[in-house]
């Protein structure tokens, strides 16, 4: 079955930051899938207004040997703009789309029911609410009721986006699958501690995304701790080059089965790509 955007909802309402994943097109069962791609213009001054269109991102991904990707807005939260771009897109890369959830969003369930969404996205740093706060219960509950995974940004700001807060949420919601973005935090010590935390707690409902992690040796160590079946390749394009982070995976020297899982197999199973 091919998944397509169905723009029957109120696009004005979508200007709010509501975190979801929507399948657009079919995803190859054997190619590389990038689980973390941004499209649009950045608002945060540090990123100096950097911007890419969907077509520009698709060209970069295709030239990197990637044939499927999860795309999401930048910190602008322009969900309607991204979905509009996908509706008219006809390029070679197959996309799923994600946007941010907002705290205390009672309307997210209706939106999830209206479309073929495949996950909910939470960004604690931009929303200034840690993932283990009760304000996220509507979004996580909506995901649980529909069997959808929840992608959570994790970073160096431990009080707001620390991996430990996600581990607490995963303990509290054992029947929800979580993706720990940036492998728990963009530094070797955080990645290692996050992997140990996942394994020591026996949290089979937590996956780790490799986006922005440059050190191949710490990715290898994390895979050794949690298992290749718990890791998803991501690049964090448009801030990064996918080629750079594919090189990180290649440098590990995984066997063919493990490499296939990390570079696409795990994401297809987690987000139901093989079922749609």
- 7 domain-assigned: no
The verdict on residue 11 lying in a domain is no
* Number of domains present in the structure of the chain: 1
Residue 1 lies in a domain: no
> Mean pLDDT in the chain?
85
Whole-number pLDDT of residue 151: 93
* Lookup result for tokens 């931009």: 126
Tell me the range of 49-53, 97-101, 127-131, 270-274 where mean pLDDT is highest: 127-131
Determine, yes or no, domain membership for 8.
no
> What are 116-160's pLDDT values in tens digits?
778 888 999 989 999 999 999 999 999 999 998 899 999 999 999
Q: Please indicate, yes or no, if residue 62 is contained in any of the structural domains.
A: yes
Q: What is the pTM of this model?
A: 0.86
* Report for 11-15, 54-58, 132-136: range of highest mean pLDDT: 132-136
pLDDT of residue 43: 83
CATH number of the domain enclosing 100 = 3.20.20.140
Q: What is the mean pLDDT of residues 209-232?
A: 97
- At 30 the pLDDT is 61
Tokens representing residue 41 in the block:
């213009």
Specify if 24 maps to a domain. yes
Residue 160 lies in a domain: yes
pLDDT band at 26 (very low <50, low <70, confident <90, very high): very low
pLDDT at position 82 is 81
More confident residue, 27 or 273: 273
3-state secondary structure 13-42: HHHCCCCCEEEECCCCCCCEEEEEEEEEEC
Q: Quick one: average pLDDT of 165-190?
A: 96
Residue 27's domain spans which residues? 16-275
Helices (H), the chain: 54-63, 79-87, 108-114, 124-127, 137-146, 158-161, 163-172, 188-200, 216-226, 242-252, 256-260, 266-270
């Amino acid at each position: 079955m091919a998944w397509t955007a169905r723009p029957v909802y109120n696009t004005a309402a979508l200007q709010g930051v509501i975190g979801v994943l929507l399948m657009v097109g079919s995803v190859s069962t054997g190619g590389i899938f990038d689980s973390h791609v941004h499209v649009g213009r950045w608002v945060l001054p540090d990123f100096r207004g950097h911007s890419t269109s969907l077509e520009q991102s698709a060209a970069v991904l295709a030239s990197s040997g990637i044939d499927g990707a999860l795309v999401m807005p930048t910190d602008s939260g322009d969900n309607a703009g991204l979905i509009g771009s996908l509706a008219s897109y006809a390029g070679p890369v197959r996309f799923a789309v994600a946007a941010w959830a907002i705290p205390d969003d009672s309307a997210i369930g209706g939106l999830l029911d209206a479309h073929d969404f495949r996950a909910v996205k939470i960004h604690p740093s931009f929303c200034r609410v840690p993932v283990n706060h009760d304000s996220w219960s509507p979004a996580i509950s909506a995901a649980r009721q529909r069997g959808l995974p929840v992608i959570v940004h994790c970073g160096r700001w431990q009080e707001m986006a620390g991996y430990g807060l996600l581990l607490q949420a995963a303990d509290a919601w054992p029947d929800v699958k979580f993706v720990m973005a940036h492998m728990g935090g963009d530094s070797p010590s955080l990645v290692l501690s996050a992997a140990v935390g996942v394994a020591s707690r026996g949290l089979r409902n937590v996956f780790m995304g490799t986006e922005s992690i440059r050190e191949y040796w710490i990715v290898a160590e994390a895979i050794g701790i949690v298992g290749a079946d718990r890791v998803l390749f991501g690049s964090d394009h448009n801030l990064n080059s996918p080629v750079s982070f594919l090189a990180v995976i290649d440098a590990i020297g995984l066997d063919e089965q493990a490499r296939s899982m990390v570079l696409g197999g795990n994401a297809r199973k987690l987000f139901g790509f093989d079922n749609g």
